[in-house]
Amino acid sequence: MHNKTITELSAGLKAGDFSSEELTNSFLQRIEEHGETLNCFVTVSGKEALEAARVADGLIAKGEGGVLTGIPMAHKDIFCTKGFKTSCGSKMLDNFISPYDATVVSRLAAAGMVSLGKLNMDEFAMGSSNETSYYGAVKNPWDTNCVPGGSSGGSAAAVAARLVPIATGTDTGGSIRQPASFCGITGLKPTYGTVSRFGMIAFASSLDQAGPMTRSAEDAALVLQAMAGFDPNDSTSLENSVPDYSAELNKELTGLKIGLPKEFFEEGLDNEVAKAVEAAVEEYRKLGAEVKEISLPNMDLSVPAYYVVAPAECSANLSRFDGVRYGYRCENPENLEDLYSRSRGEGFGAEVKRRIMIGAYALSAGYYDAYYLKAQQVRKLISEDFKKAFEEVDLIMGPTAPSTAFGIGEKTDDPLSMYLSDIFTIGVNLAGIPAMSIPAGFVKSKPVGLQLIGNYFSEGRLLNAAHRYQQVTEWHKGVPAEFE
């Protein structure tokens, strides 16, 4: 059952081939068998999952519920989940039991999905390898000596190893797409504001966006349908109607205009990854798409701009973790200053501290104009580059990451090299537009991701392009040998 898509699982549930309880038990057994190997789960909620599965079975028996009813899934441990630990991969929140559900959690539960637990992640979503977690590094199921990508590495690894059919993720600078690329799955970052951020612990509020991580584009469309929509609890939520993301999955691609940014294929891109991406683009030509070279001239500025904006926002957002109201508190503080400094010093990991300090510096008196304001101006230029590009083309394509998954520990002592892992994804977040990564081949037995970038609110077109590609290729069906 673990190799079936959501559509296939839903059909099996409705036909009575198996029950949601049986399906849930099957995945719980896989988690017990493989979860420790990959270190991808922080919390497994077996008892609660089986109770939810029985409720789903009752609905299905009555002919009620939808396509997602009774389907198991898991949440990245950045989404508040009532009655469960929500750690954000940090010692700071290791003891935090959420009193409420994030909107993403409540909406997927309302759709009838069965949550199996919470997935490991880089601490406070800060990282590109899932090595900064308080609970240890997550391992890539294709090669357990390699990273799964970050920060949604636990989600990507769990889906790739077929421990869950789908998982939620968040993307601040590529944290859905890059791990999707490294683990050979489909990951979608929607337009900023499409999915509510309420109850999603903030890293950088103007960049963070939740999205689905699945086996296929067809599955992603079904899950996004349930996740998306206006939320009055989120001031950045868009008051747009939710389209039927599955409606045009099978639409022909004849005449689709695809742009290949020349900046994506210059120095820094692995030659074998480039060949895999070029082969994928050739498939789109066969499907009737028109391909042309375009330019995103300010793309090289996306990394420095991001690493001013994101740390600045994180330094503000993480100021709430002070040892007073909730979360980690140091023992026997001498005074208030000692409480603050030791609680934060002991509760946060090295990467989080690094970004807080960078952000505080960028926002400090005398440096705000030179750094933060300038970064926001560059952000506008990057956004304008995309706007001009979409006057010429319908979609932009290129590599998701400059390489395949690298070794655990390979870049931990070189933060700059680690930051450059997101060089092709960051610009999308700065502009707030949608993008996704889909499997497009292998290099030395490691997956390669093809990135598809769309204009605002073009998720339907992205999913259509991804689905048509997946109908003529088999890359998204690959399963790591140990987890077949």
**Cα–Cα distance list, 182 to 11, 136, 235, 442 (Å):** 30, 18, 33, 10
Confidence check: pLDDT of 212 > 90:
yes
Give pLDDT tens digits for 365-410: 888 888 999 999 999 999 999 999 999 999 999 999 999 999 999 9
- Which has the minimum average pLDDT: 45-49, 205-209, 364-368? 364-368
Does 216 score more than 90 pLDDT?
yes
> Tell me: the pLDDT tens digits for 226-237?
999 999 999 999
Per-residue pLDDT for 192 more than 90? Answer: yes
Closest CA to 170 of 119, 219, 135: 119
**Beta pairing class for 446-454 and 395-399:** antiparallel
Q: Which of 151, 155, 196, 403 is catalytic?
A: 151
The answer to whether the pTM exceeds 0.85 is: yes
Q: What is the pLDDT of residue 245?
A: 98
* 175 flagged as catalytic: yes
Q: Which of 76, 91, 139, 189 is catalytic?
A: 76
- Location of structure tokens 């683990």: 183
Reduce the DSSP state of residue 20 to 3 states and report it: helix
At 416 the pLDDT is 82
- Residue whose C-alpha is closest to residue 410's, from 184, 178, 145: 145
CA distance between the termini of the chain: 11
Q: Is 196 a catalytic residue?
A: no
Place of tokens 């709430």: 320
Which one from 175, 196, 216, 237 is the annotated catalytic residue?
Answer: 175
Taking residue 335's Cβ as centre, other Cβ atoms within 10 Å add up to 7
Helix H or strand E segment including 12: helix 6-15
Rounded Cα distance between 111 and 70, Å, is 9
| Architecture field, domain 6-256+434-483 | Alpha-Beta Complex (3.90)
Which residues does residue 209 pair with via DSSP β-bridges, in sequence order?
A: 171
Closest CA to 88 of 43, 144, 145: 43
Which pLDDT tens digit goes with each residue over 418-473? 988 899 999 999 999 999 999 999 999 999 999 999 999 999 999 999 999 999 99
pLDDT band, residue 1 (cuts 50/70/90): confident
Question: What does the mean pLDDT of the chain come to?
Answer: 97
Amino acid residing at 113: M
Instruction: Please name the residues in contact with 135: beta carbons below 8 A apart, sequence gap of 6 or more.
Output: 39, 42, 87, 89, 120
pLDDT average, residue stretch 251-278: 96
Distance CA 322, CA 127 (A): 22
Residues forming beta bridges with residue 395, ordered by sequence position: 258, 454
pLDDT tens-digit map of 73-125: 999 999 999 999 999 999 999 999 999 999 999 999 999 999 999 999 999 99
Closest CA to 212 of 362, 284, 353, 111: 111
Sheet holding 446-454, edge to edge: 41-44, 114-119, 72-76, 166-171, 209-214, 186-189, 435-443, 446-454, 395-399, 257-261, 290-294
Respond yes or no: is residue 76 known to be catalytic.
Answer: yes
Convert 460-479 to b/e letters by CB count within 10 Å (16 or more is b). bbbbbbbbbbbeebebbebb
Q: SS3 for 262?
A: helix
Q: β-strands 41-44, 114-119: how paired?
A: antiparallel
Tell me if residue 295 falls in helix, strand or coil. coil
Q: Which pLDDT does position 267 carry in this prediction? A: 83
pLDDT score at 86: 98
- Whole-angstrom distance, CA of residue 122 vs CA of residue 153: 8
Flag whether pLDDT at 415 surpasses 90: no
Helices (H) and strands (E) in the chain, counts: 15, 11
Q: How far apart are CA 119 and CA 135, in angstroms?
A: 11
